[in-house]
Structure formats: C-alpha cells, structure tokens
C-alpha cells in the first residue's frame, strides 16, 4: 500500500500568514488522485481538495492544492482563525486508499 508522509508535523503560524503543507507518497499516486481534509478538534474531517487541485464545494479560494506523482502541497494563502486545525492528505489512486498522519496548524 502507498504510505503518505506529511510534513511538518506541526506548523506554528500567525493569522494572515501563508501556510504550506507537504504530502509525500512512497510511490506515484495514480492520476493525481489525492485529497486534502481539515479536521477541527472533536469534529469530523471536511473535504477541502480532491484530484490534487480541485476545491470541494463551498471551500474558500484561499485553499489551493498542487502537485503530482509523489509530491503534493496544500497552501493556505492567508490563515484565518478558523483554519487552525489538523490537515490530512489521502491518496485514492491505489487500493487501499491511505491517509497521511496529519499536520497540525497551530497559532503561534
């Protein structure tokens, strides 16, 4: 199965700053089938990005995804207070679909 490694483990930033989160796969993700989710404490994950770069319905345009092959990035252009959360990547190009271990974006 494909192992996804997210970095950094924790990102300490201030509101208004830019966040760049990385997701690296142990082998190429077929057809760019990579998704990003946001999870706030005690809440279910929320789909942000699918197909590496397509925003899900209702997701603000400050969230953007990019990448292909084994290297993918989630960028939050200007952090809002509600963006401080844990972010997971998931590949669904090969079965079984697998998730990264998460990156926590915390307030500096």
Binding site for other proteins (CB under 8 A): 1, 33, 35, 37, 43-47, 50, 56-57, 88, 90, 92, 95-102
By C-beta, is 16 or 58 nearer to other proteins? 58
Nearest distance from C-beta of residue 100 to other proteins, angstroms: 7
CB of 53 to other proteins, least distance (A): 13
Residue 25, classified by CB atoms within 10 Å of its CB into exposed (0-12), middle (13-18) or buried (19+), is buried
CB of 42 to other proteins, least distance (A): 9
Minimum CB distance to other proteins smaller for 15 or for 51: 51
Q: What is the CA radius of gyration of the chain?
A: 13
Question: For residue 24, what are the contacts with CB-CB under 8 A and spacing of at least 6?
Answer: 4, 5, 6, 7, 70, 71, 72
């Amino acid at each position: 199965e494909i192992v996804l490694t997210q970095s950094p483990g924790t990102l300490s930033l201030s509101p208004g700053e830019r966040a760049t989160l990385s997701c690296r796969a142990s082998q190429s993700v077929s057809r760019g089938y990579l998704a990003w989710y946001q999870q706030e404490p005690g809440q279910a994950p929320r789909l942000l990005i699918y197909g590496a770069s397509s925003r899900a319905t209702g997701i603000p345009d400050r969230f953007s995804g990019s990448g292909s092959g084994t290297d993918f990035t989630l960028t939050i252009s200007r952090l809002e207070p509600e963006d401080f959360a844990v972010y997971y990547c998931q590949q669904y190009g090969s079965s079984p679909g697998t998730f990264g271990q998460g990156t926590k974006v915390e307030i500096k």
